[in-house]
Amino acid sequence: MVTFKADQPIAGNALLSRIRDRSGVRVHDCYQCGKCSAGCPVAQFMDLMPRQIMRAIQLGQTDLVLRSSTIWLCASCHTCSVRCPMEIDVARVMDCLRHIARAERIPPAEKNIVLSHELFLESVKRLGRLYEVGLVAGLNLGTLKPFANVSDVGLPLFVRGKLNLLPTRAGGVDLKRIFAEKKRDR
């Protein structure tokens, strides 16, 4: 059971201010309706629901938030953000929290998740889209399990025409601009 208590007053809440400064998101506007958690497709795997993360941020519980598996399991699908009646971009907050945790060298609660994030972003940066086979191959090699999920997941997907062995390109100038802007923001 998680106990939510104010570690810092809102006026002096460093995490709340840091998120607002870095992302422009006003987490203090969250009134805990729970729509973000109710719509989250990966909530069942999280240690804290998205609304609990938002509340912990409001209360200044930095350690609880940055050590949570939730920030790493967020799929960034934006379902939470779209459902929020206060128009809080919860997915952007989760992304911001991942960056803060990495900057503070807090190890992720989920093993190999950083490798997964880096491979995903590299695929999108180079190709303009996710190259699933490359992501899985990179994860398998990075985790020293070169044949994990090949016969039980990969082969059936390939047989049904759901996996392309060769990567395709998308994006272009807009994608390069997005990555350049993101690099400047850090």
- Asked, for residue 1, whether it belongs to a domain, the answer is no
The set of residues, in sequence order, having a beta carbon less than 8 Å from that of 179 and lying 6+ positions away, is 125
Q: What is the pLDDT of residues 102-161, one digit of tens each?
A: 999 998 887 888 888 889 888 888 888 888 888 888 888 988 888 888 888 888 888 888
**Do 96 and 126 reside in the same domain of the chain?**
no
Q: What is the pLDDT of residues 93-114, one digit of tens each?
A: 999 999 999 999 998 887 888 8
**Do 156 and 88 reside in the same domain of the chain?**
no
**Do 52 and 83 reside in the same domain of the chain?**
yes
Q: Domain ends where: 74, 103, 132?
A: 103
> Is the overall model pTM greater than 0.85, yes or no?
no
**Do 77 and 129 reside in the same domain of the chain?**
no
Structural domain of 135: 113-185
**Do 91 and 145 reside in the same domain of the chain?**
no
Positive or negative: CA dihedral 9, 15, 20, 25: negative
Q: Using CA atoms, how far apart are residues 134 and 122, in angstroms rounded to an integer?
A: 10
105: tokens are: 């060298």
Query: Contact, 90 vs 84, CB < 8 A?
Result: yes
